[in-house]
Amino acid sequence: MSPVGQQHAIRFITSPFKHKRFTSMRSELFRIPLEWGGVPLFGGGALLVALLLGVGLYALWSKRAHGAQADLWGLLPPTGVAAAILLLTPRLAPAGVPIRAYGVLLVAAIAVGLVMSIHRARSRGIDADTVLSLALWWLFIPGIVGARLFFVIEYWEVRYAALPWREAVFDAFRFTEGGLVVYGSLIGATLGFLAFAWRYRLPALALADLIAPSLLAGLAIGRVGCLMNGCCFGGPCELPWAVTFPPTSPPFEEQLARGELHGVRLRTATDGQSLTIDLPAEHAGERVLAVDGVATRSAYEAAAGFRAAYAAGRPVELRLARGETLRLPASTLRRSRPVHPTQIYSTINAALLAWLLWTLYPLRRRDGTVLLTMLTLYPIGRFLLEMIRIDEADFLGTGMSISQNLSLVLLAAAALGWWVVLTRPAALWPGISQGSDSKVGTPAPTAA
């Protein structure tokens, strides 16, 4: 008999796998070296020369073909940004430039959304340049800023609070490796969209109807990037299509920190100051005072004990408040326990909504109905998906994640929007909704 209580051996949470599990995650596709054959590619190397040469040749061709300089001024901001990135690359990525699956699929999502929007916009009297300007400068950049800012705020205590400020700032800019929240992107992109509609004197509802299917199509592709990156993961799953993730992935790290790889599951108590056992059932609700001999007051402190034990391949001891000590077997798992592929669920959900909105667009009788359909159906799907996702914590004691709370807010806003749209006479703005030969997108006059 131990002086602190009887020793208990804990079995693993799940039975041996009955099905062949899908494995997932390949966050880095390949890496571009800083030099090739002794020739530097980044910094002041070959890529910068190629960029400046390409822009210069385009400028000469454009001047001869059109004789105007207005379009050339528009090249300066993106060219300057690209040149700055190339110059800073050797300092930011001394081991080479990693090409992440998340970033590649993010670019693919933007490309697909642009093609869809341009295709439909041309039939409505809007030129491709206007759509490109809207997508890249007024939607994409504000959307990325909003999505990343939302992520940083939501996970500040977990991921950033303990970092030195320089490291925290640097990590906050690494959005191509994941960490973008859809609702944050929606907020940022909405602000940019409203500014664009006001600037170019375009009806916001008619324009929103036009681009809504593209947003959902892009989201469907982006969620595949989430699967490759391992973010936005679901809870435990024993279904045949469950997926597992490798070490260092978010699901693996979460399960390791909670003790699931060692056969238990710890959770933060309702007081927010202590840990309790969720599994196994015979000890459910008991407080945990120490993990691996180290006193713990939070899940963050407990995670260190589990990680140390896993790395050393040794058992773990949990000291409980009532005096018992639970001895957990050493974990031999080399991948996470099976979880719901919520990223794929999200992809299917977004793809079906994109198809529905694309089909609905030519059938609508009022501007705003396509947008409101999206704002009604997407929050419902997101709310349900959040019920099996475990990567977001309870928000302000509501018992729901922050995304579920925002889903309810969006549904309320959509209900108000439907009331406004349906109480107005049925009408479509002819400049966008019914097509027009006139050029759309003239900037509004500004005060002198």
In the annotated binding site, the residues are 223
Under DSSP, the state recorded for 339 is: B
Dist CA 303 CA 351 (whole Å): 37
What letters, b where the CB count within 10 A reaches 16 and e where it falls short, cover 288-312? bbbbbeeebeebeebbebbeebbee
Cβ atoms < 10 Å from Cβ of 24: 22
CA-based nearest residue to 105, from 181, 176, 189, 31: 176
Identity of the residue numbered 341? P
Dist CA 273 CA 297 (whole Å): 6
Dist CA 117 CA 173 (whole Å): 28
Dist CA 208 CA 210 (whole Å): 5
Strand bridging mode 287-291 / 294-295: antiparallel
Q: Residue 54: CB partners within 8 Å, gap ≥ 6? A: none
Strand bridging mode 265-268 / 243-244: unpaired
Under DSSP, the state recorded for 139 is: I
Under DSSP, the state recorded for 260 is: G
Dist CA 115 CA 418 (whole Å): 29
Question: Which residue do the tokens 């600037």 mark?
Answer: 199
Q: Residue 69: CB partners within 8 Å, gap ≥ 6? A: 63
Question: Which 3 state secondary structure label does DSSP give 346?
Answer: helix
Q: Residue 51: CB partners within 8 Å, gap ≥ 6? A: 79, 82, 83, 86
Are the CB atoms for 295 and 289 separated by under 8 Å? Answer: yes
Are the CB atoms for 13 and 279 separated by under 8 Å? Answer: yes
Helices (H), 230-360: 250-257, 299-312, 342-360
Are the CB atoms for 343 and 224 separated by under 8 Å? Answer: yes
Are the CB atoms for 212 and 371 separated by under 8 Å? Answer: yes
